[in-house]
A and B are shown apart, each in its own frame.
Chain A
Amino acid sequence: EAQVTQNPRYLITVTGKKLTVTCSQNMNHEYMSWYRQDPGLGLRQIYYSMNVEVTDKGDVPEGYKVSRKEKRNFPLILESPSPNQTSLYFCASSSLHRNRDYEQYFGPGTRLTVT
């Protein structure tokens, strides 16, 4: 089954304790992206990646890091989480074929709480 998986689905942590949220897709997609979803703000893009070793900032990259060492994986790293990073996080992937239709496939989400 074609899918985007995220782990963990739920995470409660404390301020300053480094954490990583993993994202993996099995569709051989070149493009992957991270979003955060907050009430009243919709989805905001954090980082995206066009391919292995190619990453770019989205609209709200502060406080986050990403890496793309393998095509299927795109982990989101919070080096020193703060309470304002409490949010629902989504990973998404998309194909970059010539006739790319820009459709993004989203993972199930990771609900992060930073106390």
Chain B
Amino acid sequence: GENVEQHPSTLSVQEGDSAVIKCTYSDSASNYFPWYKQELGKGPQLIIDIRSNVGEKKDQRIAVTLNKTAKHFSLHITETQPEDSAVYFCAATFTGNQFYFGTGTSLTVIP
């Protein structure tokens, strides 16, 4: 099956700086790549996603890039704020039924 690797596992940035989280996947058939944010004590919540026919997608301070050839995709958060502190998960799927998640990145934004 699919294998998704995520790095780094922890990330600390100063408020206002940018944060980048990277994921690689193994199955070239995967075609949908969501990013989820999990705040303490809550379930994951979708923040942005990208399909394999698109190279980049942006939503305000958040962007995702996809490199199909290299089989990796990245989450970019600009102008970070303390409320961005959370655990972030990437995921991949081909069918939209079976999802494979990365191991998570704990992001801390230091005021």
Q: B-contacting residues of A (Cβ < 8 Å)?
A: 4, 31, 33, 35, 40-45, 48, 50, 56, 58-59, 90, 92, 94, 100-104, 106-109
Q: Which listed residue (B6, B46, B93) contacts A42, Cβ 8 A?
A: B6
Does any Cβ of A come within 8 Å of B98's Cβ? Answer: yes
Told that A42-B104, A103-B46 touch, could you supply 11 new A-B pairs with CB distance under 8 A?
Answer: A40-B9, A40-B103, A43-B101, A48-B97, A56-B97, A58-B98, A90-B43, A102-B32, A103-B49, A108-B42, A109-B42
CA A58 – CA B97 in complex, angstroms? 9
CA A30 – CA B102 in complex, angstroms? 25
- Some 16 contacts from A to B, beta carbons below 8 A apart, are A33-B99, A41-B103, A42-B104, A44-B101, A48-B98, A56-B97, A59-B98, A90-B43, A92-B43, A102-B49, A102-B93, A103-B46, A104-B99, A106-B36, A106-B43, A107-B43
Q: A-contacting residues of B (Cβ < 8 Å)?
A: 1, 6, 9, 32, 34, 36, 41-46, 49, 89, 91, 93, 96-104
Given contacts A104-B46, A109-B42, contact A42 B97 (CB under 8 A): no
Whether A90 lies near B97 (C-beta < 8 A) is: no
Chain A residues touching B, majority SS = strand
Q: Which listed residue (A4, A41, A45, A100) contacts B98, Cβ 8 A?
A: A45
Whether B99 lies near A45 (C-beta < 8 A) is: yes
Nearest B-chain residue to A38, judged by Cβ: B103
- CB-defined contacts of A45 to chain B, threshold 8 Å: 98-100
Nearest A-chain residue to B1, judged by Cβ: A59
CA A40 – CA B43 in complex, angstroms? 17
Min Cβ gap B12→A in Å is 19
Whether B43 lies near A108 (C-beta < 8 A) is: yes
- CB-defined contacts of B101 to chain A, threshold 8 Å: 35, 42-44
